[in-house]
Amino acid sequence: MEIFAHRGVSAQYPENTMAAFTAASKLQITGIELDVHLTADRELVVIHDETIDRTSNGSGYVKDYTLQELRAFDFGSWFSAAFEDESIPTLGDVLELFAGTNHRINIELKTDVFPYDGIEALVIREIAAYQMTERVIISSFNHESIQIISQRAPYIEKAALFAEILVDFTGYTSQIPANAIHVNLPTAFRRSVQEALNEGTTVRVYTVNDVEDAKQLQQLGVKGIFTDDPEKIVAALVG
Ligand code: G3P
Ligand code: CA
């Protein structure tokens, strides 16, 4: 089963920082997951929320800051004082880090609150610039973003993200089209996901931090999981 470090190794490092991704780059896992937003000067930055309030010493929307302004904030101290030097990474920073490894990169486009007009084309260009096109999976809760990627770059692997638990997934990946569905943990054990698996749909599950859940999902036949603590999960699955 594929193992992705969710927002990097976010159990031990501040999420979506170079520290969390560097730790993941040293592990023998499938890859990482990260979240992308767009700044006021149209730079692709890696952060989960629409605002910087929770994960930095600043406040306000990502979309209202330039990259240079965002770089001035501390994105590590909220997690631990040891990480006070962490700044916000760009997507390019992370792609460069993984250029010398064979990890996969799941880029989640955070377009479900603000659509960030044109973000899809910018991401396609960035992954091509780093020659990572064949190694990425682009996902989003906003399935219009997935459709745009599909139209502009059909060769890129894509996944439709779901937060709801009561969805009929039958035939959904061919409609979008996408290569996979990514569902949350409560949804993963529902009949609708079993039906999707039975019809051959590729399913990955977030966020799986309990080893018993990971073992059950492996039994169910899911393709991969996203976890904050990849070392713990790998040790349990191998052992
Ligand atoms: O991509 C899987 C997962 O990261 C989606 O939820 O809220 O952690 O971005 P969230
Ligand atoms: Ca995410």
Does residue 63 lie in a domain region? yes
Across 81-107, average pLDDT: 98
CA of 57 to the centre of ligand 1 (A): 23
Is the beta carbon of 226 within 6 A of some atom in ligand 1? Answer: yes
- The tens digit of pLDDT for each residue in 187-219 reads 999 999 999 999 999 999 999 999 999 999 999
> What's the burial of 117, exposed, middle or buried (CB within 10 Å: 0-12/13-18/19+)?
exposed
* Count helices and strands in the chain by DSSP H and E runs: 10, 9
Q: Torsion-angle region of residue 116: left (phi > 0), alpha (psi -120 to 50) or beta? A: left
Could you tell me which residues are beta bridge partners of residue 96? none
Split at pLDDT 50, 70, 90, the class of 227 is very high
Whether residue 133 is predicted with pLDDT greater than 80 in this model: the reply is yes
Counting Cα atoms < 13 Å in the Cβ hemisphere of 210 gives 6
Whether residue 239 is predicted with pLDDT greater than 90 in this model: the reply is no
CA of 34 to the centre of ligand 1 (A): 8
pTM: 0.98
pLDDT recorded at residue 169 = 86
Q: What is the dihedral of CA 2, 184, 178, 46, to 10 degrees?
A: -80
ipTM of the complex model:
0.99
Across 128-138, average pLDDT: 98
pLDDT recorded at residue 111 = 98
User: Catalytic annotation on 48?
Assistant: yes
pLDDT recorded at residue 225 = 98
Split at pLDDT 50, 70, 90, the class of 165 is confident
Q: Are 76 and 14 in contact (CB under 8 A)?
A: yes
Does residue 73 lie in a domain region? yes
Does residue 232 lie in a domain region? no
Calculate the average pLDDT of the chain: 97
| Token pair for 41 | 């000067």
> What's the burial of 178, exposed, middle or buried (CB within 10 Å: 0-12/13-18/19+)?
buried
Does residue 127 lie in a domain region? yes
CATH number at residue 48: 3.20.20.190
**Cβ neighbours of residue 200 closer than 8 Å, sequence gap 6 or more:** none
> What's the burial of 231, exposed, middle or buried (CB within 10 Å: 0-12/13-18/19+)?
middle
Does residue 185 lie in a domain region? no
DSSP calls for 13-28: S-TTSHHHHHHHHTS-
CA-proximal residue: ligand 1, atom 1 (nearest) = 108
Whether residue 179 is predicted with pLDDT greater than 80 in this model: the reply is yes
| Token pair for 28 | 């023998």
Q: What percent of the chain has pLDDT over 90?
A: 95
Mutating to test ligand 1, I would choose from 108, 145, 205 the residue with most ligand atoms within 8 A of its C-beta, which is: 108
Does residue 53 lie in a domain region? yes
Number of domains in the chain: 1
CA of 206 to the centre of ligand 1 (A): 7
Structural domain boundaries, residue 21:
2-168
Does residue 220 lie in a domain region? no
C-alpha radius of gyration, the chain, whole number? 17
Whether residue 148 is predicted with pLDDT greater than 80 in this model: the reply is yes
Q: What are phi and psi of 58, to 5 degrees?
A: -115, -170
Whether residue 164 is predicted with pLDDT greater than 90 in this model: the reply is no
pLDDT recorded at residue 5 = 99
pLDDT recorded at residue 22 = 98
Across 37-54, average pLDDT: 98
CA-proximal residue: ligand 1, atom 10 (nearest) = 48
> What's the burial of 138, exposed, middle or buried (CB within 10 Å: 0-12/13-18/19+)?
buried
Does residue 29 lie in a domain region? yes
